[in-house]
Chains A and B, each alone.
Chain A
Amino acid sequence: MGSARATWLGRDVISILDFSRDMLEELFLVADEMDRFLRSGRVPRLLEGKLVALAFFEPSTRTRLSFDTAAKRLGAETIGFSGEEGTSIAKGENLADTVRMLDSYADAIVIRHKYEGSALYAAEVAEHPVINAGDGKQHHPTQAMLDLYTVRQLFGSVDGLVYGVLGDLRYGRAATSFILGLTLFRPKKLYLISPPLLRAREEVLEVLRQRGIVFEEAGSLEEVIGGLDVLYVTRIQRERFPDPSEYEKVKGSYRVTRRLLEEHAKPELRVMHPLPRVDEISFDVDETKYAAYFIQARNGVPVRMALLALVLGGWEK
């Protein structure tokens, strides 16, 4: 484990596939510690004197606030923006120059951007670690980290479970990163459930094939729900569709309800969702034992605290 810890220090976080299972397990152990600190109300100021830039070129609530909270809980300070309005980007500055500026101010840059590959590009420009908080439809690695951490917390292990990932698998970066993250473990089976227009992209399916993951593409949740341990639901995001008429064809095409779960799901099934949701999970699921999405949302802070502490070296002190 010691070596896994050393490899976190100073590194960029671009894709969940940049990490090994050992590294993620190390992260989860540190997140357990962070969770204990938070519950006890005594969090050591491991990142005192550090400054984290939160460069959210796209609007975000949960991810930005959880990074902000995680940094501040550990004693770091944050700077940044949310949305391009009011920044030099709105005046025509390019991403590279904005990143260079932030790099000269801060010890790490957390970036969210609407274009795929922007986080990797920022990491090439910056000397300090860059953490991808979502680049277009491609990656959302820290979401996958907290999702996998939540599965481990709920079931004791990520291995050996039957997963269903439901929704927009084509444009949804949280779903994509979760699917890719599962390839670092040994799921029993993975069902990819989506309308035909929103099937997982070829490059994602290729990773599943290369890594020997048993998976099946399914058109409807009803066909497979009875066999699932984890159902990961995602929203269809209007803003990711290049063609608005495509969005109109698929919106509202699936909905997880209490009745569906009670009639067809195993009692142990847990429903996850990166949030925010619109209408893909009905509110009557919230009070059932199936709902795990609020636990998942809460885990955003300890997991991101662990990540910042490992990348910025606070955990070494």
Chain B
Amino acid sequence: MSPGEALLVRKIRDGTVIDHIPAGRALVVLRILGITGREGLRVAVVMNVESRRLGRKDIVKIENRHLRPEEVNKIALVAPTATINIVRDYEVVEKKRVELPSIVEGILKCTNPTCITRKPREPVKPRFRVLSRRPLRLQCMYCGTIVSEDDVVKQLIGG
């Protein structure tokens, strides 16, 4: 983080900093994490700041909240460039990049209503092959339907 960014939001003591979110996606990340502001958590959102890697980026800082693996997987879908920093006592104790696997399993549902994975009584997990990461394009491994980034975002934020 550049000194200029540091001026915008002060350091957090304990929690998670999600950095290198593609510009404009911070609110989507918050929706994925179910953060509405009413939880009492101290949350900072910085949007459209300069980034050497991305040109522009968003940053989300959440105090006293750590991410579950399935939350990290969902973030990887909409913010594949993101880095997750775990902060304890003002220090970054762990820093990792999110990783979008080549097969995405069990997170999203297929957009095709007549796909077998949409049938509630069948014990089958939806599985998608990643066709492209940017823009995100996934293909259902059962029915072949191609799911776009817009569809993924809509599903993840419950739109």
A residues near B (Cβ < 8 Å) are: 92, 94-96, 113-118, 120-121, 124, 135-138, 201-203, 206, 242
B residues near A (Cβ < 8 Å) are: 112-117, 119, 121-124, 139-146
CB neighbours of A137 from chain B (8 A): 114
Among residues of B, the one whose C-beta sits closest to the C-beta of A139 is B144
Which residue in B121, B139, B142, B146 is a CB contact (below 8 Å) of A116?
Answer: B142
Among residues of A, the one whose C-beta sits closest to the C-beta of B142 is A117
What are 5 A-B residue pairs whose CB atoms fall within 8 Å in the complex? A94-B123, A121-B116, A121-B124, A136-B114, A202-B146
A114 touches B114 (CB 8 A): yes
B146 touches A203 (CB 8 A): yes
| Dominant secondary structure of chain A at its interface with chain B | mixed
A121 touches B122 (CB 8 A): yes
CA distance A206 to B138 in the complex (A): 13
Which residue in B115, B121, B141, B142 is a CB contact (below 8 Å) of A94?
Answer: B121
Which residue in A115, A121, A203 is a CB contact (below 8 Å) of B139?
Answer: A203
Q: How far is the CB of A204 from chain B (nearest CB, A)?
A: 8
CB neighbours of B140 from chain A (8 A): 117
CA distance A95 to B122 in the complex (A): 7
B123 touches A96 (CB 8 A): yes
B143 touches A116 (CB 8 A): yes
CB neighbours of B122 from chain A (8 A): 94-96, 121
| Dominant secondary structure of chain B at its interface with chain A | loop
Q: Contacts A96-B122, A96-B123 given; indicate if A203 touches B116 (C-beta within 8 A).
A: no
CB neighbours of B115 from chain A (8 A): 115-117
Among residues of B, the one whose C-beta sits closest to the C-beta of A121 is B116
Among residues of A, the one whose C-beta sits closest to the C-beta of B116 is A117
Which residue in B114, B123, B144, B146 is a CB contact (below 8 Å) of A115?
Answer: B114
B113 touches A138 (CB 8 A): no
Q: Contacts A114-B114, A115-B114 given; indicate if A206 touches B146 (C-beta within 8 A).
A: yes
A138 touches B123 (CB 8 A): no
CB neighbours of B141 from chain A (8 A): 117, 120
- 20 more CB-based (< 8 A) A-B contacts, given A117-B144, A121-B122: A92-B121, A94-B123, A96-B122, A115-B114, A115-B116, A116-B114, A116-B144, A116-B145, A117-B140, A117-B141, A117-B143, A120-B142, A121-B116, A121-B142, A124-B124, A138-B144, A202-B146, A203-B145, A206-B146, A242-B114
Q: Contacts A96-B122, A96-B123, A121-B124 given; indicate if A242 touches B113 (C-beta within 8 A).
A: yes
Of the listed residues B114, B115, B144, the one surrounded by the most CB atoms of chain A closer than 10 A to its CB is: B144
CA distance A121 to B116 in the complex (A): 8
CB neighbours of B146 from chain A (8 A): 202-203, 206
CA distance A113 to B117 in the complex (A): 13
Q: How far is the CB of B131 from chain A (nearest CB, A)?
A: 8
